[in-house]
A and B are shown apart, each in its own frame.
Chain A
């Protein structure tokens, strides 16, 4: 249910999971964390007569969960505060978000928003980078920052007893960053090294290249939010400072606060800590809402990874913006198609054929024109049949929509996912921050579930026929060149263009 599918949610989750030096029972070395081992053989025969275990219990339908809406308060400098109180633990998570991300960057400075977020904790106010890091760590707090296509975010997680000491640090990071040359030199080098590492990670390469070739060079969503090797070299410290001043303004910002605090107290604490944060004289920059990618025919691209044991398949077609009324219901189609373990694609490619450890699809949640993406790392020799089966499954859903039991399953899954999201502070904060960034209302999560619960089979069939046409997708294969080209030819697909790990054309 959560729309937080961009950088924001993983950031908050990663921060929350960053148990670091913590001892205790939860840290036994895990060989295969979070990886279920669920590949299955042909079905064994069915039941016998007397059974001590008794019949399988039929679960009672759960009470439909309605996500609570946050209170909306006035924050410092015309900012908004979305507050959801949670008093079970003495913790608070604050996510401060503005609706400016990589889509709003100058065309030749890809990664500016990302690098700017990276510089947020590199010294601020009276503290240099080391002193700032020390001050945060002294409190046992966690401060993290990120940028995705549509937004920039900085988040603070802290014991509530340390909140009043931590808030001025958050405020300094936003209002008085130092942006020292020495720190930028280091951050830039680490960033460029990370981009070199990215080129070795096939799933990352597939992500970067798919957006690049699907949207096409000049589109604001084409370049990766973390930039490219070329664009990273062009970003200068002056650009960072200018960008920071432009986007971090209170009248564009939302504080999402979740945890053990009361409205009056948190309102006063924020106003005190952010007293120096004023609305600048310059007009608020426009929020960028990119239009759709230009129409195109079926196109194929190959990124060569010689000797790789797998071929990563990734393809894209258009999807609606996150604010479109159909968006939550498209998520229902997606859960049934490739968004869950028992989805049709995962059952086919993984469980029936063993071609992949998992296939996933999704409608990207974006302020502007969206994208429907399917991705899987395939056994190299199974690329052609996997492409065929993927197309077959999608065409089938497009033609027939969802059957009633599948709709029930999807509704149950959405209910379960909502409970999981609202079961942790970082889950709630991630979801609300994403809604705020995309210009959606505070109670969007409840609205989504209501829309999903009222969808009829006919509604979903209509959507499937409009949004699951994959006859003219942009398809990317990352793997050994010869294998990939042969798989495309065997599947009757067009001859590919060879591109590098960032989607630039390379000579044949």
Chain B
């Protein structure tokens, strides 16, 4: 069969499979499925933030003059950047005649609870409460008092404050940041591939169980059947990715601030990187999908597919690990080996896109990967023809007849 005819036949099969998948009710679950963990994740983040807010220690009540309190607050402000932990909350309380009584009342007030009471000003500071000498509250209060005392006696030093000349990057920081981008791209590619390429494993089960395979195989080459199925699943996956990207407000948040925006610009630039990411996802999907299709085609039932899934998933993890070794040293032997080995090549190359600006290696890689897709499909189709199509009913019937 000539190539255009084979592609036309593949398109007919791809269109049928794509329509049958996308128009099915189960596709909705497929689309919504990945959003559940995302929603749950964000739910936990929200709950966590609430818990975090609720779990902040109550303030320390400071009994004393407003001046002393201001000094303590200034010291607190000054010392805050030195620690990653949240600084203690301080609350000013005007002194009352009976200090002991006031302390007791403050420490037992359930409506406006405090963790401790500081009195005695900056000269004779006295902390009362459920605290220990080496505990966080006592240590911070001690620092605040020391700093407030120092600020009170020191004269301002003449001279200019620290001037900053921010540069866009330094080589060290850039390499480190691009390394992160490379890992992010690689991980995203891997997660999407492992999540979606597994679907291909169960392809042909429908045809085999409903005997449609005989109709297909009599009309079009097995290569076209495989190609059609693969492209249908790729198109389905891209629909899913587009849906998730559009539907996921969290992802948009990720893009806006923090998240992706915090990632360093890839060496090839964001537009090229995103284009390459899509291309490499497709190539990775086609490569791994073609392999899965060949393996999955040997299965006759969903149970057999499940049995095959485990080693296949482990294999994917190995590929990812292989490609991940090269991140950070794109010219190193592991990175080049991972880029050459066809099944890990897309993962290795997306990392390279983050770390190296040259675009021509990507052209070479895509052609190389496409060649392997064709080769794997051809081998898978040949195995399928040999092991499945010819060992059908005819064979078993012949066997039965001979026994009789």
The answer to whether A and B interact is no
Which residues of B are interface residues toward A (Cβ below 8 A)? none
Which residues of A are interface residues toward B (Cβ below 8 A)? none
